[in-house]
A and B are shown apart, each in its own frame.
Chain A
Amino acid sequence: MSRIPDERPLNPKPEVVDGLRRLLPRESVLTTEAELAPYECDGLSAFQQRPLVVALPETVEQVQAVMRLCHEMEVPVVARGAGTGLSGGALPLADGVLLSLAKFNRILGIDPANRSATVQPGVRNLAISEAAAGHGLYYAPDPSSQIACSIGGNVAENSGGVHCLKYGLTVHNILKLKLISVEGELFEVGADALDSPGLDLLALMTGSEGMLAVIVEVTVKLLPKPERAQALLAAFDSVEQAGAAVAEIIGAGIIPAGLEMMDRPAIRAAEDFVHAGYPTDVEAILICELDGFNAEVSFDVMRVRDLLLASGAADVRTAADDAERLRFWKGRKAAFPAVGRISPDYYCMDGTIPRRQLGPVLRQISALSEQYGLAVANVFHAGDGNLHPLILYDANNPGELEQAEALGGAILELCVEVGGTVTGEHGVGVEKLNQMCVQFNSAELNQMHAVKAAFDPKRLLNPGKAVPTLHRCAEFGAMHVHHGELKFPELPRF
């Protein structure tokens, strides 16, 4: 995989620093090596680059002024929230301004009557639910990184969480955005109402990875808390059975609040780390959460239990109380750091596949894992078909990072081949540019570039991310692979 995100020629303009100093307080413009170091990567540390300068504005007017300056001087800008992104979306540019929204950390208002909250983009995801809790309300999308990641980053990535199966992704849970255009103008998309006139720019902005405008305010929907939540933990002797059980539950017309799966390596790592009480001698576990009215949940718990047993579950446990339910989740939510304990490094993938392909694809991943000589732990949003294979490697062993990336690429191409996509929630960033060449043809990529140009003709906002140039794709040599030979002919397809 190319380490260079983009073929952009560098064009450093150190004068921009003087300009920024005129616009922002002294402490809001960072330039020394020590000051820049914390910004050199996001959650994907395999890619590192120090920016020319970091700007930390704290008012909307300051963001506007920074954008106007950069637009005039033609200096690229990369917006950054909390830097937890897993695809290098917030990776700085050597000749660019890194625009941190970290100081935009205020909750501007909770409107319990309309069940919405208006917040600044640097507010942490979990802080919104905490602030709304007093009204019996919460913000539904709950990425595992929710204690750290920012709502601005969530919007830019269209982030999901374990409860998205029932409650939707970020795009389904926001009402309105205030944005700064690349030229420095403030504008709004969406409304306090359920729709707004014209093209759906709110949907277009969501998941646009900081490439179309800078988000300076977000109005989110809040939901009332259900009366009761209950979780089941099912153990399986094969991943195929667990995958089939997922289809059985959904096919029976039940939409669980969460439906997550972990395979043997992930179970072991999580169990050793947080002692969630998982059975460790099984091939897969499913955690299924149901919520709603008390009586309704009791009824559905019985139905799901029967379905799980009928699908071949070796054991099904129902949480005895809320403490046990939270323990079931604790292992799942701690799975990434748990895997981090058993391997010097891990590389988290994010492909999505049709649910019915879960079993076959997991089997194929384990074959690829053997072929590439690197272990893989799987922990993922089974209900949504969103896989998170964690590839274990050691960056200190020469060539292992490249091997991990090659295996990751093969896994994503497999996802595309069975009718899925290269990223379900982590975004393309710089990481999956090559796989975008597999998923889209040149006309499709050109259409995306035309959309980018509609917002940012000079390509100053986060250039080189998310959508590969055709030149890059030609080099990668993968264009039109999806219309050509099938690499995994044994897998069932549409």
Chain B
Amino acid sequence: MTETAETDAEQAIVEQVTTAWSAERLVAIQGGGTKAFYGNRVAAETVLDCSVHQGVVAYEPTELAITVRAGTPLAAVEALLAEHGQQFPFEPPHFGAAATIGGMVAAGLSGPRRPYAASVRDAVLGVRVLNGKGEVLEFGGRVMKNVAGYDLSRLMAGSLGVLGVLLEVSLKVMPVPPGRITLVQEQDQAGALELMQRWAGQALPISGTAWLEGRLHVRLAGSDEALTQTQRIIGGAPMAVAEADAFWLALREQELDCFAVDSLTGDGFAGDGFAGDGLAGERSLWRLSVRSATAAKAIPAPDLIEWGGALRWLRSERSAAEVREMARTAGGHATLFRAGSGRSAPRDGVFTPLNPVAARLHQHLKRAFDPAGIFNPGRLYPGMGRTAG
């Protein structure tokens, strides 16, 4: 429970949603618009701009928690945390200077540190959220532990705005470790996977792993004592700190060459396949989230391996069915992250389809939060939400 008063910006958002609810008008929820490419294309009638709803509501470093309005720029919040020697444990990608806290939580994407620290969802402590009937609700809290009622705050992480409009989020923050070092070594894919797996079986202060172009990058973060000892175990050549920081930033922001596809610009993919220009399709960028020990041959020719083997990026011309099958066999799922130009998204969307029971529960949950189906229709799965017209 928070005790913040409603601000004017919040009031305006509530009014827009209340109107949309009574008029059954389809709403695309937007923060900074930096992650509009992610997920399925939304067919909305109006855009709800949340980026004006800004401000830090509460931040007490010794509580390891911060409460922020959803429209607050992510960069500004990270700068504030850094002033106090703290950071978000999940190292969120921004994908643009306009990225907001609300967009970060709704997209639920975590960066290189994720397997060694936490995901966005892990760090969510509480939310203030507007449901599809225009009701302002608070779930969770600002404290570390809270099991009062269903965990409807973590449910918002990664929900891509299909359940409600995030107004405020409370997140767990962590101290920035005193030191960091990045070690690089030549390795083929199988060798890199084997090493990452061996290290993961020991309690080491690893904070990032990335294999690409025949080189394995390992970032360590911790006390000097821990770094010295771990460096002996990991081996490889240390990178200069500035160069290493630039590398991990470019990795997080997907600015490295290994992510580049000849992509269509614009927001989202059409659920039913847009016409393209008739050229044979370019390669698309796929994100495969799998068991970390998945063998190299199970997912041939990845462009990049992160998360100790648990995240593999693939630029491929393969069909969605083929890529999904590879991921499924490896205990996970595949997301069409960016479609190559001329390629259409699968009819069932960019995310791996759900099992029938989960799919039904998704429909029911959608109705429970957004009875008129007005929020981000189709963004998560085609058919979740009302269609226009």
| Complexed CA–CA distance, A201 and B226 (Å) | 37
CB-based contact B144/A421 at 8 Å: no
Find chain B residues with CB under 8 A from A103 CB.
Answer: none
| Complexed CA–CA distance, A426 and B351 (Å) | 36
Tell whether B212 is near chain A: CB-to-CB under 8 Å: no
Binding site for B on A (CB under 8 A): 111-115, 135-137, 157-158, 160, 164-165, 168-169, 171-172, 181, 185-189, 191-201, 203-204, 206-208, 212, 223-227, 247-248, 250-251, 253-255, 291-293, 295-296, 298-300, 352-356, 381, 384-386, 416, 419-428, 432, 436, 439-440, 443-445, 447-448, 450-455, 466-467, 482, 493-494
Find chain B residues with CB under 8 A from A422 CB.
Answer: 148
Instruction: Kindly identify, within residues 85 to 143 of chain B, every residue whose CB is under 8 Å from any CB belonging to chain A.
Output: 85, 108, 114-115, 118-119, 121-122, 131, 135-139, 141-143
Q: A199-B159, A384-B145 are in contact. List 10 more A-B contacts (CB 8 A).
A: A165-B144, A168-B122, A187-B355, A193-B330, A193-B332, A194-B307, A204-B155, A206-B151, A386-B145, A467-B149
* CB-based nearest A residue for B367: A454
Contacts A194-B307, A223-B203, A385-B143; A203 near B367 (Cβ below 8 A): no
Find chain A residues with CB under 8 A from B141 CB.
Answer: 352, 419-421
| Complexed CA–CA distance, A447 and B367 (Å) | 11
| Shortest distance between the CB of B25 and any CB in chain A (Å) | 22
| Complexed CA–CA distance, A493 and B142 (Å) | 12
Binary flags per residue of B369-389, CB closer than 8 Å to A gives 1, else 0 = 100000000001100000000
Tell whether B290 is near chain A: CB-to-CB under 8 Å: yes
Binary flags per residue of B56-80, CB closer than 8 Å to A gives 1, else 0 = 0010111110000000000000000
Contacts A207-B147, A450-B368; A224 near B203 (Cβ below 8 A): yes
| Shortest distance between the CB of A14 and any CB in chain B (Å) | 31
CB-based contact B155/A352 at 8 Å: no
CB-based contact B62/A420 at 8 Å: no
Pick from B62, B115, B154: contact of A251, CB under 8 Å: B62
Find chain A residues with CB under 8 A from B58 CB.
Answer: 494
* CB-based nearest B residue for A493: B3
CB-based contact B311/A194 at 8 Å: yes
Residue picked from A194, A224, A253, A420, most chain B C-beta under 10 Å: A194
| Complexed CA–CA distance, A310 and B310 (Å) | 44
Tell whether B229 is near chain A: CB-to-CB under 8 Å: yes
| Complexed CA–CA distance, A451 and B155 (Å) | 11
Find chain B residues with CB under 8 A from A493 CB.
Answer: 3
Contacts A385-B144, A424-B143, A436-B148; A454 near B176 (Cβ below 8 A): no
Find chain B residues with CB under 8 A from A427 CB.
Answer: 147
Tell whether B185 is near chain A: CB-to-CB under 8 Å: no
CB-based contact B368/A203 at 8 Å: no
Find chain B residues with CB under 8 A from A186 CB.
Answer: 357
CB-based contact A185/B357 at 8 Å: yes
Residue picked from B131, B225, B335, B355, most chain A C-beta under 10 Å: B225
Instruction: Kindly identify, within residues 338 to 357 of chain B, every residue whose CB is under 8 Å from any CB belonging to chain A.
Output: 351-357
CB-based contact A293/B229 at 8 Å: yes
Contacts A200-B154, A204-B151, A448-B152; A225 near B203 (Cβ below 8 A): yes
Pick from A226, A386, A428: contact of B149, CB under 8 Å: A428
CB-based contact A171/B154 at 8 Å: yes
CB-based contact A191/B332 at 8 Å: yes
Find chain B residues with CB under 8 A from A111 CB.
Answer: 293
CB-based contact B368/A466 at 8 Å: no
Contacts A191-B333, A198-B358, A250-B64; A203 near B147 (Cβ below 8 A): no
| Shortest distance between the CB of A345 and any CB in chain B (Å) | 24
CB-based contact B289/A191 at 8 Å: yes
| Shortest distance between the CB of B47 and any CB in chain A (Å) | 23
| Shortest distance between the CB of A194 and any CB in chain B (Å) | 5
| Complexed CA–CA distance, A168 and B163 (Å) | 26
| Complexed CA–CA distance, A223 and B332 (Å) | 20
Find chain B residues with CB under 8 A from A208 CB.
Answer: 150-151
| Shortest distance between the CB of A468 and any CB in chain B (Å) | 10
CB-based contact A423/B62 at 8 Å: no
Pick from B146, B157, B226, B289: contact of A423, CB under 8 Å: B146
Contacts A187-B357, A193-B310, A454-B364; A421 near B226 (Cβ below 8 A): no
CB-based contact A296/B222 at 8 Å: yes
| Complexed CA–CA distance, A208 and B229 (Å) | 43
Pick from A187, A198, A295: contact of B229, CB under 8 Å: A295
CB-based contact A419/B143 at 8 Å: yes
Tell whether B2 is near chain A: CB-to-CB under 8 Å: yes
Tell whether B241 is near chain A: CB-to-CB under 8 Å: no
Binary flags per residue of B38-64, CB closer than 8 Å to A gives 1, else 0 = 000000000000000000001011111
Instruction: Write 16 A-B pairs (CB below 8 A) sorted by A numbering.
Output: A114-B292, A194-B289, A195-B108, A195-B289, A203-B121, A204-B154, A226-B203, A295-B226, A352-B143, A352-B146, A421-B143, A423-B146, A424-B144, A428-B149, A440-B1, A454-B365
